[in-house]
Structure 1
Amino acid sequence: MTHASRHTAHGGGHSAPHHTPDAHDQAEMLDLDAEVLAQHTDSITAWLPVKSEPRHIVDLGCGTGAGTFALLARFPEAEVTAVDVSPGHLHRLREKAEALGVTGRVRTVLADLDADWPVLGRPDLVWGSASLHHMADPDRALSRVYDLLSPGGLFAVVELAGFPRFLPDNAPEERPGLEDRCHAALAHHHTEHLPHRGADWGPKLTAAGFTVEGERSITVNIDGSQTESVGQYALSSLKRLRSGVADTLAANDLSALDQLLDTNSPRSILRRSDLAVRTERTVWAARRAPTK
């Protein structure tokens, strides 16, 4: 899910210590993201226009392994090289691999993809989920992926359309429109700190030499009553959102957001019967030209 933990949004003067996400919080959110969105990730891997089952896959910005393990399940003969800048994320990924009995099919590589790339072999498939927009120079990264892939190989780019929403449009919270204002403040933060978030990767992939063979948008709308993990995912995600908007959000909005984050409050996000996860994911499938 993530390329570099240093890109985590940071709050400022308003931020309470217990609301500031740390490395453990980020790993927990990635694990919850993998669990809550597992069905949608599986639908993406099933859609990929592979011409034959890949034997070697590289997962760029693997986080704690959401894509890695979905790809291992989809392609039972494949091995995955999982790359991330966070030692903690890679450690957790290796623990999961051991628990699943697939350690022999996973190699982890610690690397900063904004610096020199390590030797990653010649993969048949490269997977980049919510990682490209973190890179300082995504166009350079796309060119590197093109050179990395075996001729005729596939590059799958997966991005969320925006930060997930958890409250209904007509939510009767104390501050009507709170979530809209939080998202607007976060969009402003991302414009400054993550300018490539929300990019249309199709033209960028074409400019790097790829042929875009498919683009698909998947609507995510998961009822919070389906699983307890949705509440924990919402709580973790909103803590992360708070750290990015605390400096710009109005004091009364920040107070209302803190009520949602206070698990002891009657207004806690965990106590809402109308909780849901709503977002959209887009995937681009791009192929390197085969050898003539």
Structure 2
Amino acid sequence: MSIPNWSSHVRRGGGFWSDGRWYDLHLERRMPLALPMLEELRDALPPLPAGTRVCDLACGTGNGAVTVLSAYPEVHITLLDEDPDLLSVAREKVDPLTLDVEVLQTTIDTDGEAIPGGPYDVVIASLALHAIVGHDVERAEAESRYELLFRSIADGLVSGGHCFVGDHVGTLPLFAQLKAMERAGFRDVDCAWRQDDFFVAAGRLGE
């Protein structure tokens, strides 16, 4: 067993973000707006009837899924991520809240292919899309990747399905992300909340 060097903590931008338990322990302190963002995402949801199929895309430790289930415990949740350790942490959190859960370990690419496990009624992405697109990407490439990623989400939704994004602005400005969402086929695209670099935005797949 090898324990990571603690000094990663004190480096600028440092930390052990790939470790799910460390991530949850430090999320509120390192990103104080992350939890208010999740609450705003929850409050932006329309009423979700029992059996609504919800995908937590690139779910990480499952904070988005838990937030949805806290308000709508009778939905069907799919946890989708490529990291088995993060999925394990997410499953631990979700299991006490519902028996109606599916776990899919898969890589999420910006290739325009439909996200696995659909069709879904709702896709949520919490602090996920900027990580999938990548941090060190030129503006034009970021726009292309965001549009392809939104197309992947759109192709995994039923007609009239919704996509909710809670994230922070990094690789691409918020307005450009909303326009990429529209080009991917979403309607009623808008920003429900923004504070500093954090935001909640959503759109409905046109019928």
**Structure 1 position 130, deviation (Å):** 1.6
CA shift in 2, pair 1:118/1:149, >3 Å? closer
Looking at secondary structure, tell me which structure has more helix per residue.
Answer: 1
Counterpart position of 1:109:
104
Contact 2:81–2:107 (8 Å) recurs in 1: yes
Looking at secondary structure, tell me which structure has more strand per residue.
Answer: 2
**Structure 1 position 40, deviation (Å):** 4.2
Q: Deviations over 1:180-232 (max 9, x none)?
A: xxxxxxxxxxxxxxx4476731111011111134312343xxxxxxxxxxxxx
Partner Cα separation in structure 2 for residue 93 and residue 46 of structure 1: 21
Which residue, out of 28, 33, 46, partners 2:43?
Answer: 46
TM-score, normalised relative to structure 2: 0.74
Contact 2:37–2:199 (8 Å) recurs in 1: no
Counterpart position of 2:74:
77
CA shift in 2, pair 1:24/1:129, >3 Å? closer
- In structure 2, the gaps of 5 or more residues are 9-14, 134-144
Contact 2:165–2:200 (8 Å) recurs in 1: yes
Which residue type is aligned with residue 89 of structure 1? Answer: L
Q: Comparing both chains, which one has the higher relative contact order based on Cα–Cα distances under 8 Å and sequence gaps of 6 or more?
A: 1
Q: Deviations over 1:107-160 (max 9, x none)?
A: 111111027666312111000122111224332111111111111111011112
Which residue type is aligned with residue 5 of structure 2? Answer: P
**Larger Cα-atom Rg:** 1
Identity %: 22
Counterpart position of 2:93:
96
- In structure 1, the gaps of 5 or more residues are 1-15, 163-194, 220-278
Counterpart position of 1:281:
198
TM-score, normalised relative to structure 1: 0.54
Partner Cα separation in structure 2 for residue 84 and residue 90 of structure 1: 7
Which residue type is aligned with residue 138 of structure 1? Answer: Y
Partner Cα separation in structure 2 for residue 71 and residue 124 of structure 1: 13
Describe the SS at the equivalent of 1:77: coil
Partner Cα separation in structure 2 for residue 34 and residue 94 of structure 1: 20
Contact 1:34–1:66 (8 Å) recurs in 2: no
Partner Cα separation in structure 2 for residue 32 and residue 106 of structure 1: 26
**Of 149-158 and 52-61, the range deviating more from structure 2:** 52-61
Partner Cα separation in structure 2 for residue 69 and residue 31 of structure 1: 16
Contact 2:181–2:189 (8 Å) recurs in 1: no
**Of 135-144 and 112-121, the range deviating more from structure 2:** 112-121
1:149 partnered with 2:143: no
Partner Cα separation in structure 1 for residue 106 and residue 175 of structure 2: 24
Contact 2:38–2:166 (8 Å) recurs in 1: no
Contact 1:72–1:79 (8 Å) recurs in 2: no
Contact 1:81–1:109 (8 Å) recurs in 2: yes
**Structure 1 position 62, deviation (Å):** 0.5
Contact 1:134–1:196 (8 Å) recurs in 2: no
Indicate the RMSD between aligned Cα atoms, in angstroms. 2.8
1:140 partnered with 2:167: no
Contact 2:178–2:189 (8 Å) recurs in 1: no
Partner Cα separation in structure 2 for residue 139 and residue 101 of structure 1: 34
Partner Cα separation in structure 1 for residue 174 and residue 40 of structure 2: 21
CA shift in 2, pair 1:65/1:31, >3 Å? farther
Describe the SS at the equivalent of 2:91: helix
Work out the number of aligned pairs and report it.
Answer: 181
Partner Cα separation in structure 1 for residue 28 and residue 117 of structure 2: 24
